[in-house]
Chains A and B, each alone.
Chain A
Amino acid sequence: AQSVTQLGSHVSVSEGALVLLRCNYSSSVPPYLFWYVQYPNQGLQLLLKYTSAATLVKGINGFEAEFKKSETSFHLTKPSAHMSDAAEYFCAVSSPGGSGGGADGLTFGKGTHLIIQP
């Protein structure tokens, strides 16, 4: 069975500080990995994705994530936090034909709420 674990349901950083949101996954087959962002009262929006090409993936709004197979991790980082980054962030793993939900085999983590302190 595949799963996603996001460490910390809430993460608070100061404006201008490094953002690090942690995600670990388990999958029996080579995965696709995603980070989605949800701003207040909105739907989810794709931030970035890993599809077995480069292990360091750049996304929108200055975010990036690194796929580390040996650590089964896909942590999300941003060098300098901005107030507009305050949102809920979801890590997700997809392994078609795997044990996740639906034809896509997509499983979401429980989310990390990012708080930016002025």
Chain B
Amino acid sequence: NAGVTQTPKFQVLKTGQSMTLQCAQDMNHNSMYWYRQDPGMGLRLIYYSASEGTTDKGEVPNGYNVSRLNKREFSLRLESAAPSQTSVYFCASRAQSRVPGELFFGEGSRLTVL
């Protein structure tokens, strides 16, 4: 079982460049999420998708866009990267049968913006 797979695992960008973080889950989960983790800040929700075809903003959506391509895939796009977006990004998913908040996480994508 692969679970939640994120690509790339590491990326270095220059300010103003764009990129897309990919996430795929093979557990047939309905809900998917993108979080960012910064030292001393815990995890903060960027965007989530409660089901295929729907997306909603989380706590820190500015500077990001998302696409729920199908039930398996949920991508996060940075249109014009800024140094403040240097962070570790985690994708997560949840099954309908699990309680709200019980998430499965990917291993993370470490992004540095110079």
Residues of A that sit less than 8 Å from B by CB:
9, 32, 34, 41-46, 49, 51, 90, 92-94, 96, 101-106, 108-111
Contacts and interface: CB of A to CB of B under 8 A. Distances in A.
Interface footprint category on B: 20 to 34
B107 A42 contact: yes
Contacts of B79: none
B90 interface: yes
Contacts of A102: 33, 45, 48, 56, 58
Would you list the 9 A-B pairs with minimal beta carbon distance, nearest first? A94-B101, A101-B45, A43-B105, A104-B100, A108-B42, A102-B48, A110-B42, A106-B101, A44-B105
Contacts of B104: 46
A109 B90 CA distance: 16
Given A109-B42, A110-B40, A111-B42, A103 B56 contact: yes
Contacts of A109: 42
Contacts of B94: 104
A42 to B, nearest CB: 6
B26 interface: no
Interface of B: 4, 31, 33, 40-45, 48, 50, 56, 58-59, 90, 92, 94, 99-108
Contacts of A103: 31, 48, 50, 56, 100
Contact of A32 (B33, B50, B101, B105): B101
A71 to B, nearest CB: 21
29 contacts: A32-B101, A32-B102, A41-B107, A43-B92, A44-B90, A44-B105, A46-B103, A49-B99, A49-B102, A90-B43, A93-B101, A94-B100, A96-B100, A101-B44, A101-B48, A101-B59, A102-B48, A102-B56, A103-B31, A103-B48, A103-B50, A103-B100, A104-B48, A104-B100, A104-B103, A105-B101, A106-B101, A108-B44, A110-B41
